[in-house]
Every structure is written in structure tokens, then in C-alpha cells.
Structure 1
Amino acid sequence: MLKALMTGALGALMIATPLFAQGVDATGEDRGEVRRISTHMGQMTASFYLELEDEEPDGNLQFEPWQMLDDLFRDDVVFLMRHGPTDWSKRDIENVAPTDCSNQRIMTSFGMARMRELGTLLTANDIRFGEIVTSEWCRNRQTLDNLMIGMQRVDPEYADAVDVEIDSNVNLLLSLQGARTAEPLRERISAWEGSEDGPLLIISHFTNIDEVTDFHVYEGEMLVIDPKRENRVLGYLRLRSAEPDVGHFNVSD
């Protein structure tokens, strides 16, 4: 049912429903605002000062269903994320090691900019993770690095405060030095009980996420999962600019 919701029209009439706003930056103004744009879809926006003049952020974070809004701010949920946008003109060579960045598909400059934007939007809207776990693969670590840059635009001390772990158990499924099964990922989600510092973020891969949830996610998309309800997927959160990729979706070149 939720998969059907994910294809909902983006052109629906926007109904503004501001819930909160937050000013946080002395050099500019960072504000988070939540809007309901259709029966099932919501958006988070932010107006913020950017030091990099060449970056023009979309400034729009989309989530669905709208009824999941309160769950986004729970500390006992898990955000299961696919790495950010990559260069599909270069594929991983056979049996490439996860840390061999020169021989695997890595993020584009566009993708890195989008992940910085995502980090800023999340933090401006007061979504801060208590723990972060990432795959060893280069594109996943690049995703984390750029998320952190975006988060630090709003909260300069965030990177020093959050616990970060690189875990081979969330590596690309069935690849060289990868996860043999999705069970360790499933068990890690199930074991999360929450943290006073925020929810858990796991940055993994399309195949792993599909195996655990049966959902096909875009690059940079997050699923919100409730361990207390047998790892039920509550909804998704992604940049409105996110698009299906040619590697896992039926997209013409």
C-alpha cells in the first residue's frame, strides 16, 4: 500500500501548515518549516545561509505518509538509508574491495551537494541522529561525510557529538567483503531501543534494503522503520529532487 503512496502526484495543491520554526545561525537564518501538500504527503523546507555560492539547494525535503510526522521525531525509530547519487557510467569492477574507491562506482559532485543539502534540511528541522552506522563502501562514506557537512552548517558541534560506526555487516550484500546475508542488518534494526540523543541512522545499499524491507529506494532516500512493530516501514523521507537511477529502476538513458 505504501509503495502506491510513493507514486503520488507531486503537483498537488500546497496547503501550508507550519508546525515549528527554528533560527540557529548567527551569520544567516536557518529555519525549518513543515507543510502538508496533499492528503498523504508532507514537505520540510529551510531557508539557510550557504558559504558555497555555487550551490543552489532545492530546499525541500519530502516525506510520506503525512500521518508519519510525529514518528520522524521519535528516538526509538531507525532511518534506513541508501547512499547518495552516484555515477552510473562507471560500475564496480568484479570483486572490488569496499575501500577501493578507484575501481568502484562513487558519488557525483551533484550527489555530494544533494547530501549536504539533505544534512542541512534534516538538522534545520530538528532531526538529529543519536548514532550513525555506515557501510565500508566509498559511496556510503562519501554520503556520510557530506551529510555531516550539511548538518554542521546548522549545528557546528554535531559531528563531534554523534557516535559513528563503520560496519561491514551493512556492506553491499553478497559482494567481496560484503554481508553474506541481510540478517545482521535486520537484527541491528530490531535491537534498537532508542537514545536520548536521537534515532539510529544506517547508511546501506539498495540490495540490502530491498532484502530487509521489500522496498525499492532511490539513492539518498531513507525509510523510517519501527523496531517495536516488528520492523514495520512507517514511511519514507527524501529530497524532492531525488530521482530513480538507471541501475535499479526502468529508466531510459
Structure 2
Amino acid sequence: MLLAWLSLPGSAYASDSQAWDALREGRALLLLRHASAPGFGDPANFQLDDCTTQRNLSEQGREESRRWGALLRSKRIEQPRLFSSRWCRARDTAREMYLGTVEPLPALDSFFANRARASRQTAELVAQINGLARGAPMVLVSHQVNISALTGSYPASGEGLILALPLDVPAQVLARIPAP
């Protein structure tokens, strides 16, 4: 029975090697949950334009981010298109990888405090990503609630998912990559 299930298209993860190839070739993207940031949700005084009011990366989170950058370079992904939530912990995760300019993408912003936005915002993300030209590898940094809404998976802090393009809901997960 298990062998029959595994033989169904899209029912099992691709090999990590195939997933990395698809990412490198622009047939997939890497979606990361921001690296380790102590706490849960956002503080009551949260302000998007003020990092001092937000949960921020710990030193462990900064190191995880740098290790992600090293891992991507080791996989020959050196200048990806890099998109991030506007939350400081996500932006800093992307910046600390040292892979290039980070573009803010509001569709990656957390909807933890307003779960009613989940379906609409997930649909916006799918439309925006599918509307981009294929080519260079793409790396996105977001939040657990966003990733769970898109994939049905619950990633750990700093964990990455390689997702097949074009995106759909639920997205096709080709590989889960633990925080390096």
C-alpha cells in the first residue's frame, strides 16, 4: 500500500538533488521561515517601521541565516531573486544570507494577528510569484502562518521548503531543508 501511495504523482517529495536542480534552474523556489527569533507572534506595540517594537533575530538566528547563505552558495545559488516579508526578523534573515538585494513583498507579511486575511493574501502571493518571469533562482522569506497556509506544512524556525513552480494551493513540496 505504501509503495502504491509513493508512486502517485506529487505524493512524495522529489529527491533533494532533484529539488536543488529545480531551484537552480528556476523551476522551483525556496521558501524559508525566518530564522530563530525568541518569542511568539508580535508584541502589543508592534510597528512595521520600527524594529525595536518587534521580535528580532537572536544571535543564533543570525548565524542560521549566514549558514543558509553558505548552503545556497555551495549549491551554486549565488545571486537569487530574494524576496522577504517586511517584518524585521524576515528581512534580517534574508539580508544576513549575503546573497544580494532583498526586495520587500507584502504578500509574504505575517497574518498571524489577522488570520481572516490568510486566503486572500495566500492567493495574492501565488498570483504575484506566478506572474514573475522564470529564470534566476528565487528565495522567499516569510512566516510560519503564511507557509502553512500555502503548503499545509508547519516549518520550524529557519526551515526551508523547495516548492515547484508554478505555485498552487497547496503548493507542491519537492524537499524540506532543515535550518543549516
For the aligned pair, the TM-score class normalised by the smaller chain equals: 0.7 to 0.9
Q: 2:55 aligns with which of 92, 105, 109?
A: 105
Is 1:79 aligned to 2:19, yes or no? no
Separation of aligned partners in 2, 1:227 and 1:164: 21
**Structure-1 separation of matches of 2:68 and 2:30:** 13
More deviation, 163-172/114-123 = 163-172
Residue of structure 2 in register with 1:18 after alignment:
none
Indicate whether 1:188 and 2:137 are aligned.
no
Using the size of structure 1 for normalisation, the TM-score is 0.56
Give 1 or 2: higher helix fraction. Answer: 2
State, as a whole percentage, how many aligned pairs show the same letter. Answer: 25
3-state SS in 1 of match to 2:97? helix
Shift of 1:140: 0.8
Q: Which amino acid aligns with 1:80?
A: L
- 1:129 deviation in Å? 4.3
Given that residues 192 and 227 in structure 1 are in contact (C-alpha distance below 8 angstroms), is that contact kept between their aligned partners in structure 2?
A: no
Tell me the CA shift for residue 213 of structure 1.
0.9
Higher relative contact order (CA closer than 8 Å, sequence separation 6+): 2
Matches within 5 A, 1:1-253: 65-88=16-39, 92-94=42-44, 96-148=46-98, 151=99, 159=100, 164-173=102-111, 175=113, 181-195=121-135, 198-228=136-166, 230=168, 231-240=171-180
Q: Give structure 1 regions of 4+ aligned residues with deviation exceeding 4 angstroms.
A: 63-67
C-alpha change, 1:103 and 1:237, in structure 2 (3 Å) is same
CA RMSD of aligned residues (A): 2.9
The structure number with the bigger radius of gyration is: 1
Per the TM alignment, residue 139 of structure 1 is displaced from its structure 2 partner at its CA by 0.3
Equivalent pair of 1:194/1:200 in contact (CA under 8 Å): no
Q: Scaled by the length of structure 2, what TM-score is found?
A: 0.76
Contact kept in structure 1, 2:84 and 2:90, CA below 8 Å: yes
Distance 2:129 2:165 in 1: 6
| Aligned pairs, number | 165
State the Cα distance separating 1:201 from its structure 2 match: 1.2
